[in-house]
Structure 1
Amino acid sequence: MKKYINLAFLYAMLAIAGGVFYREFTKYLAFDGRTTLGFVHVHLFVLGMVVFLIVGLFALLTDVESQKHFKKFMLFYNIGLPFAVVMLIARGVPQVMGMTLAAGPSAAISGLAGIAHILLLLGLIFLFLSLRSASAKTVLSKDA
């Protein structure tokens, strides 16, 4: 469980850093519109910190870590989430700076963000498969 609390803490610190960067960067450039940089903070808090706190609880209550798909979850999810966040930053920084990306770079960022989301989806599928297997093997009853 300690591993998941440490991961949750890491994602929380990255979320705070992302939020501070968003606030200071937009303030420095006097930007007051909408930008994808605002989503970095929330993505890291919810998809990072909250998910791994919940995974830690499941690891405490079940044998989810020993399921065959769990390592795949950890791999795909921990590649996909930072990758998605980097793509949010790659899209948001030019927005704040008032730059319009050419069609090629804009499409590349969209494509890479799509790949990151696919990795997150695969990670979540593997997590749910692991949780389903672990719950079938765990007896959690009110009588116990």
Structure 2
Amino acid sequence: MRRLFYASFAYMIVGVLSGLFYREFTKLNDFPEGQFTQLGLAHTHLLTLGFIVLLIVLVLEKVFTLSRSRLFGWFFWLYNAGVILTSAMLVWHGSLTVLGQESSKMIAGIAGTGHMLLTAAMVLLFLALGRAITRDRAITPDRANGSPVDEPAVATRA
């Protein structure tokens, strides 16, 4: 659980710093305000995919103890590799745009690999979550699925 907390916190810091870099780098290079560059996308990817999603996964870990599953470890490392790879390519491509240089298909290919890692990680997360929900349902059946539940004792007056 601490790993998720620290990773989320690190993405929050890096996401905020990438926004600062975006603003200052474009100003420093007299990049026209309002013109598109992928530097802004790096900022939002890091904050959303890194910070916010991992905070949500932290809550899911607290509720369902997802880390019991071996799939969760795979999710964590693949997901982080995907976020880092994708964000790094956004920064690289965005920086080239600001500097007026041509990008290459290699950058797009590496960014695509990052997105594939993110997709694979999300599949693993949902598999681990599905198993955790099934495990919890087997331990504590509820009325929603028609299983009996112990009723609390109710005092009656005679």
Q: Return the TM-score normalized by structure 2.
A: 0.83
Q: Which secondary structure state, in structure 2, belongs to the residue aligned with residue 100 of structure 1?
A: coil
1:54 to 23, 45, 56: 56
Q: 1:3, CA displacement in angstroms?
A: 2.3
How far, CA to CA, are the matches of 1:110 and 1:89 in structure 2? 12
What's the C-alpha RMSD, in Å, of the aligned pairs? 1.7
1:68 to 67, 70, 75: 70
**1:9 equivalent in structure 2:** 9
**1:134 equivalent in structure 2:** 132
Q: 1:37–1:88: 8 Å Cα contact kept in structure 2?
A: yes
**2:88 equivalent in structure 1:** 86
Identity %: 34
Q: 1:5–1:56: 8 Å Cα contact kept in structure 2?
A: yes
Q: Match for 2:6: what amino acid?
A: N
**1:18 equivalent in structure 2:** 18
Q: 1:68, CA displacement in angstroms?
A: 2.5
Cα deviation per residue 1:34-68 (whole Å; 9 max; x = unaligned)?
Answer: 10001011101110011111111111111211112
Bigger relative CO (Cα 8 Å, ≥ 6 apart): 1
Q: Match for 2:20: what amino acid?
A: V
Count of residues paired in the alignment: 140
**1:28 equivalent in structure 2:** 28
Q: 1:126, CA displacement in angstroms?
A: 0.5
Q: Which has the larger radius of gyration?
A: 2
Q: Return the TM-score normalized by structure 1.
A: 0.90
Q: Match for 1:16: what amino acid?
A: V
Runs of 4+ in 1 over 2 A off after TM superposition: 139-144
